[in-house]
Structure 1
Amino acid sequence: MKQKTLLAERFKELSNPLQPEPTGEQPQLTKLTGIKAVIFDFYGTLFISGVGDIGIDDGNSDSQLLLDALDGADIEVSDPKAGKRGYEIYNKVVTDEIQEIKASGIPYPEPDIRKVWRNVLNQMYAEGLIRSSTSSDDHERMAVEFEVRMNPVWPMEDLHETLEILRNKEMILGIISNSQFYTPIAFEALAGHNLTSLGFDQDLLHWSFEESRKKPGLQFYENFMEKASKKYPALQPENYLYVGNDMLKDVYPAHEMGMKTALFAGDNRSLKWRKDDSRTKNLKPDIVITTLSQIAECI
């Protein structure tokens, strides 16, 4: 079985349906003129995120979870301390990777989780915590086994309906997401279709792990706009609607780029108003939606 297929199967096997948690927010809808493209956040917007977002440095230490992930990746443990000590190694490796990228001048770094797990597993082997050395396939498998347990995801209930409506409206579709290599694999595995068949433009899939930088860094969004303007030179920033669940990571940078903005307030796990941040406390999205399908009412 090819590696990507294997990883997709693991997402299917280990994932269970999730329902959005009510936020108590009311939609604030208005007609937006001139929209030609709709760009989405992934975690917490297109997909329910069990922890509300993705962040390789955001999880709580859980020794048993790490042991379960090692077992799922067929990595044999040789020391009962592997769970606890493995987490300590993981946290240090993540911190070191973040600091290394920051030192290169990137204020919001996004380490590649494959490199993280390579270093973690190499160190665990050196300390006698696991029985054998590991390969690049092992590093990817470990990343997926860990992520699916740490941050379960599931498509928003009206995802397919919304994308179909937008395709019928001939909207250009894209994604700007804090992400890892497994993000598009999870999307396609759990949505049941590849991204292009769902209407997404391959050139407008903007993943943070590919750039070592993430939201809310403005350069990450500027790089997207540069790609978009090359592909669609006739479009202006105000022709883009950006949809995300976080006022700081989504609405603020998209607004700075000149895009129209939609705050997705449909799941209490992921909704972030960020009213205590100077960049967002006086910022208002163009619309507030509580279901994805409400986008169609506004464009």
Structure 2
Amino acid sequence: MKYSAVLSFFKRPENKPGRDLCRVFSPLEFPKAILFDIYDTLVASTIGDLNAQLEKKRGTKSFVKTAKHYGFEEKLGQQWQKLFFRYIEEEHERCRKLGILRAEVLVDVIWRRILDETLPADRSIEIDEREIGLFREMCANPVALFDGVEDLFLFLKERNILIGIVSNAQYYTEVVLQWLLGRSLFDFVDRNLAIFSYKLGFAKPDPHFFRYAEVAVRLMGLAPKNVWVVGNDPINDMASSRPYGFATVLFAGKGSIEEVAGSDIDAIVGSFGNLLDLVKGLE
């Protein structure tokens, strides 16, 4: 597996339990495809996706740990932290001026810029920006699969229900998911329905994101009403996908549960066991 050297420094975590919860607010049709968010949906995360990290700008610890791991001093890690978030904000601002409201950066490009600007040009060892970006992410944002993900995926595959991804993500998101699953993500996920923000250049809740998803499912001969979007965020996942005709299932596996019934949500589940039962009940 690529990046196995980086991942060998981390222990694969135990799966996280969800909660027993299932409420249906509007009638659902048996799905022909289900599109899943990743952070705090398929996996329980410490911070969230890159946009969540940008909003919180949590300390320098993960950057310092990364610098030390690669043989550099603490002060360089502190410098990396400042540059990392500054360069992301600069890219977002550049894109806003071009009319892209929620731009997604290429975090490996950000890291390449940081390394080129802070390390000596005549250094004897070349550091791969994707490796260092993965290591920093693993330090900053440990994640674990929610219980029942694999069982649900196997059931969906048996029933010929397509599995897709609709997530704000980076290149390392696929790497980490493969590591957690112990197999390729694409053993389950249809590549035509694997929609990652870093490959688009914009992120949820940008209205273009689920327009792209709508076109992807229609090109496969599916109507959005027969496709479920499962995600943890009422805005990014539910409200953003609803205008395009998708059925919406809010995943509430962690955190507080507020009254979420509304026009944007067809159902709410607290675990993948609940979601599996919901699908089975419609057979």
Give the TM interval when normalised to the shorter protein.
0.7 to 0.9
Note the C-alpha offset of 1:6. 4.3
| 1:291 aligned partner | 271
TM-score norm. by structure 1 comes to: 0.83
Note the C-alpha offset of 1:266. 1.0
Percent identity, please: 21
Structure with more helix by fraction = 2
Note the C-alpha offset of 1:177. 0.6
| 1:191 aligned partner | 181
Q: 1:296 to 1:19 in 2, by over 3 A?
A: closer
Aligned residues of 1:86 and 1:120 also touching (Cα < 8 A) = yes
- SS of aligned partner of 2:88: helix
| 1:225 aligned partner | 214
| 2:3 aligned partner | 7
Do structure 1's residue 66 and structure 2's residue 63 form an aligned pair?
yes
TM-score norm. by structure 2 comes to: 0.87
Note the C-alpha offset of 1:38. 0.7
Note the C-alpha offset of 1:220. 1.0
* Consecutive unaligned residues in structure 2, runs of 5 or more: none
2:119 is matched by which residue type in structure 1? Y
- SS of aligned partner of 1:66: helix
Aligned residues of 1:35 and 1:239 also touching (Cα < 8 A) = yes
| 2:115 aligned partner | 121
Note the C-alpha offset of 1:165. 1.4
Distance (Å, rounded) in 2 between the aligned partners of 1:124 and 1:259: 46
| 1:213 aligned partner | 202
Note the C-alpha offset of 1:125. 2.5
Aligned residues of 1:114 and 1:143 also touching (Cα < 8 A) = yes
Q: 1:16 to 1:157 in 2, by over 3 A?
A: same
Q: 1:34 to 1:216 in 2, by over 3 A?
A: same
Q: 1:63 to 1:131 in 2, by over 3 A?
A: farther
| 2:45 aligned partner | 49
1:156 counterpart (125, 128, 146): 146
2:79 is matched by which residue type in structure 1? R
Distance (Å, rounded) in 2 between the aligned partners of 1:172 and 1:123: 44
CA RMSD of aligned residues (A): 2.7
Do structure 1's residue 249 and structure 2's residue 236 form an aligned pair?
yes
2:185 is matched by which residue type in structure 1? L
Aligned length: 277
Note the C-alpha offset of 1:281. 8.8
| 1:168 aligned partner | 158
Note the C-alpha offset of 1:65. 2.2
Distance (Å, rounded) in 1 between the aligned partners of 2:23 and 2:203: 28
Distance (Å, rounded) in 2 between the aligned partners of 1:216 and 1:134: 40
Do structure 1's residue 112 and structure 2's residue 102 form an aligned pair?
no
Note the C-alpha offset of 1:20. 4.1
